[in-house]
Amino acid sequence: MNEQILFSIYIFVLAIFVGFEVITKVPPLLHTPLMSGSNAISGITIVGAILSAGLGHSTLGQVLGMLAVISATINVVGGFMVTDRMLEMFKKDKKKEAK
């Protein structure tokens, strides 16, 4: 096992712990937006997709890259937009706030 992969595993494991800590604090009230929002974050593959589509090693690689860009962009754009749409609806009674 080389250094790089070991380093990557370190990061992966620590990030999982951070994820557990942060996400257990999200109230059930917001679990649906949490899902769609985290879903959008998993669209980060778009970064890899852009590189595959643009590096131009081979046409096949570029076409696959483009398909990846399309799928990941749907995930990212759709996920963030729908999450925003949902979160906008969560409002507290105005009368109460005035008190």
Binders of another protein among 37-56, rule CB under 8 A? 37-56
In the shown chain, the binding pattern of residues 5 to 44 toward another protein, with x for contact by CB under 8 A and - for none, equals x--x--xxx-xxxxxx-xxxxxxxxxxxxxxxxxxxxxxx
Quote the CA–CA distance of 46 and 26 in Å, as a whole number. Answer: 26
User: Is 57 one of the binding residues for another protein (CB under 8 A)?
Assistant: yes
User: Is 3 one of the binding residues for another protein (CB under 8 A)?
Assistant: no
Is 95 in contact with 76 (CB distance < 8 Å)?
no
Least Å from the CB of residue 95 to another protein:
9
User: Is 98 one of the binding residues for another protein (CB under 8 A)?
Assistant: no
Least Å from the CB of residue 27 to another protein:
7
Quote the CA–CA distance of 9 and 20 in Å, as a whole number. Answer: 17
Least Å from the CB of residue 10 to another protein:
10
Q: Which residue has the tokens 């712990």?
A: 17
Least Å from the CB of residue 13 to another protein:
8
- Closest Cα to residue 38, out of 80, 70, 73? 80
- Closest Cα to residue 65, out of 55, 75, 74? 55
